[in-house]
Each structure stands twice: as C-alpha cells, then as structure tokens.
Amino acid sequence: MPIEVDQSNKIERTEKDTILALSNDERRAILIPARVKREAIAWLKRRKKSSKMIYLRLFAAGLFILLRPCLANIIKRGQQIVIDTEYEGHESKIKGMLLRYAHAAGFQLSKEAVSFARVGKSSSAHQTAWQVQRGRLAPDHRVSLNELIELVK
C-alpha cells in the first residue's frame, strides 16, 4: 500500500501554520508554525537564496521531518511514497533534496520509491492534515527553527 503525503497551507503562506501529513497503515502529521516558517525564510534570504528555492527547500525539509520516523520501515517494506503535487514542475528538485536529506541521515531511499501525484480529498493523509489544521487532532510533532535550519543550511 503506498504512503500518501498531503499538505495543508503551503509553506509560502507565512501567516498560517503548515501541516504535512502521511497515511498508510498509520497516520502521522507534523506542524510547522507560521513563526518558524517566517524565521527560516528570513535566515535563508540573508544567505542570498532565491525565493522559489527557499520554499522548495523548506517543503522538502518538512517532508523529510515527516517521513524520518517511518523511513526505515518504508525502505524495508519497499513501499512507494506518493506526495501530493504542490509545486508543479519542481518535483525533481524536491525529490532530489528529499533524497539528499535521507541519504545524509543514513537512509538508502531510492529515487523510484518517491513519486508525485494528486492526493484527493478522500485520502487519509488529506483528512489527517485537515483535522490537525482545524484543531481536531494534535500533530505528532511541532517543527522547530533549529530542525529546519539544520537541514536547509
């Protein structure tokens, strides 16, 4: 069964928290607070990173933070990770960054294991992200500025 990943409130919506959620036989969600996003964006801009790449880097870092606790099992089971198409035309960049983060952490995630497709509203990942966004479900993890900076530096 593939693992689906969805996002609620894009990274660039800096006035709102971003939720990333996954689903397969388990559900998991992380919350990236709006304040943390703004501070990470400012940190990256001070390092002369382009605006579009900043958002892609933060999205890929968020994906890695979401997937990290499950990656060993995902790889062992040979599961496919299907990420909702959020940044059309930039999937290869996001995949490359995600794979680099995974490899740097010691995970041998293959490029074939990661794909992008529309994840519909009926997806459990979408429902989980929506429930966290609405405050009906607590996130499994709140992302800190240090976590993001450590990955994107």
pLDDT greater at residue 72 or residue 26: 72
SS3 87: coil
Position 26 confidence tier, pLDDT thresholds 50, 70, 90: confident
pTM of the full structure? 0.96
User: What integer is the mean pLDDT of 122-139?
Assistant: 95
In a domain, 62, yes or no: yes
Please check the confidence at residue 34 and state whether its pLDDT lies above 80: yes
Indicate the number of domains in the chain: 1
Please check the confidence at residue 108 and state whether its pLDDT lies above 80: yes
In a domain, 152, yes or no: no
Helices and strands counted in the chain (H then E): 6, 6
Residues in contact with 129: Cβ distance below 8 Å, sequence separation at least 6, in sequence order: 6, 7, 8, 19, 20, 21, 29
In a domain, 58, yes or no: yes
CATH number for 124: 3.30.420
In a domain, 70, yes or no: yes
In a domain, 153, yes or no: no
- Give the whole-number percent of the chain exceeding pLDDT 90: 91
Identify the domain containing residue 125 by its residue range.
3-147
